[in-house]
A and B are shown apart, each in its own frame.
Chain A
Amino acid sequence: MKHIQTVNKPSLQASLKKGGCGECQASCQSACKTSCTVGNQVCETMK
């Protein structure tokens, strides 16, 4: 494309059907620990 560059291959919609295995790390949102915000995590099955 001339006007748009897409920088990722998004997986959010696809994960509606095949996600939820629950094997990923907990993601504390508070500032006192790692504050491992969900958005900064990777899917465990995509290691």
Chain B
Amino acid sequence: MLDINSGAVHVVDKMIYDMMDTFDGTNDEDVVAALRGTYPEADLREALGELHELMDQKELFAPDIDVPPTFRQSGIVKSLCLMIAQDCNLRCKYCFGDGGSYGQERAVMSPETGRKAVDFLIGKSGPRKHLEMDFFGGEPLMNMKTVKAVTEYVHQREKETGKTIKLTMTTNGMLLNDENIKWLNDNNFAVVLSLDGRKAVHDAVRPTAGGQGSYDRVVKNFHKFVDSRQGGSSDYRGSYIFLRGTYTHKNLDFTKDVLAMRDEGFDTLSMEPVVLKDNPELAITEEDLPRVREEYDRLTKAYMDAHKAGKGFFFFHFNMDLSNGPCVAKRLSGCGAGHEYMAVAENGDLYPCHQFVGREKYRLGSLDEGVTDTHWPQYFRESHVLNKPKCRDCWCRFFCSGGCHANADLFHGEIRDVYEVGCEIQRKRLECALYVQAMLALEKQAKENN
């Protein structure tokens, strides 16, 4: 049982579960009347006492959350995504970036533009000490010249300003070689590696520009990379290596893909649903949802079975710290797109995030002009769950922060709307994550008591 406004998670027995259909915090006698025929009255009253105890501790029916004073009126930019290469050596069939080009000419970012982006980030970051720069594409390793030049400049500016800029990269692995691996390790990059699970699944959706499968080549490179760090770190705040996959309508049995990656020797994993519109072959639609929900139950069981057998793996979306999660201000800020987080196109144009690159309506300005748009940054800032009509009453609102703005825009042309299929999947995935965390917490408690 999750108390939305406190974040408390309670494991309850069947009687409490049934009582919660009626109990609203004020109607003990209604609860007793409704269940007197099912449970002994003395037990019901004892359980009501426990529920009231939780209420006294503000861990049940905690007060509604409104925008707190800690949520600044306007955002401070602390994270930039650099479209290092709007070009790619793969032609993934679900790519939202038109094969890396984002609907524009294939091009790469110059070192000069990249260095300007570093100055822009530092200049906009105000008192924030921890900043981030993500090297994205397309395929960023296709433009190592700029990646290296920007990284060198980042280190110089860190020394000059006292800021810490965390560097991250998402790569398809095609160009990962010994030299690149050493360089990424020497520069403490956190890296996300794209792999879709089983070889047949991966090769079907992630072919090279020439139409060949890419699995064998990238898996060989990923092994080298993971081995070079003596395994990956699962702490997303450090220099992690994650293997991440995308599942589509064609592999709704994606538990097999997660386990295939685990069996391949990778144990820090993520697997997420594709987001596509008007693609009958690969898109996940409302009709797929029962199957998707069933599959998350299967994945949860596989995850717990592996854990119990001492062969546990890390699945990003089942990982939660229910006691030390983000503050309300962060949960309202969400991804920060458009106000705390921006993307820089290869030509220096600024967008709310990487997914908006090429959606001209959302162009915010450029590195040379600065942020010239006066509407979008504030609109994005205020587009949090308490201002999204479909989120206000959703139990998931402080976990998902309203979902992806770009997806809402893709399906409805309005970032204060939601992408419903994504919401359904998010709710199921979170339900599984809460279950996993509750079971692990009980296991820990039991060990401590023994």
Contact = CB atoms under 8 A, between A and B. Distances in A.
Interface string B17-60: 00000000000000000000000000000110011011000110
B327 interface: yes
Interface in B1-18: 3, 5-13, 15-16
8 contacts: A6-B54, A12-B6, A13-B5, A15-B328, A20-B327, A33-B136, A35-B270, A43-B326
B392 interface: no
Question: Taking chain B's interface residues, is the majority helix, strand, or loop, or is none over half, making it mixed?
Answer: mixed
A37 B399 contact: yes
Given A26-B79, A40-B319, A16 B328 contact: yes
Interface in A1-47: 1-13, 15-20, 22-44, 46-47
Contacts of A26: 78-79, 132, 335-336, 340-341
A3 to B, nearest CB: 5
A40 to B, nearest CB: 6
Interface in B312-343: 316-317, 319-331, 333-336, 340-341
Given A15-B327, A16-B328, A43-B324, A34 B192 contact: yes
Nearest to A34: B192
A10 B334 contact: no
Contacts, number: 231
Interface of B: 3, 5-13, 15-16, 46-47, 50-51, 53-54, 58-59, 62-63, 65, 68, 70-72, 76, 78-79, 96, 128-130, 132, 134, 136, 166, 168, 170, 192, 236-237, 242, 244, 246, 270, 272-275, 316-317, 319-331, 333-336, 340-341, 353-355, 398-407, 426, 430, 433, 437-438, 441-442, 445
A12 B397 CA distance: 13
A47 B16 CA distance: 35
Given A16-B65, A25-B130, A30-B406, 18 more contacts: A3-B15, A4-B10, A4-B12, A9-B323, A10-B7, A12-B65, A16-B68, A16-B70, A19-B330, A25-B166, A31-B272, A33-B136, A34-B192, A34-B316, A36-B236, A37-B401, A39-B325, A42-B321
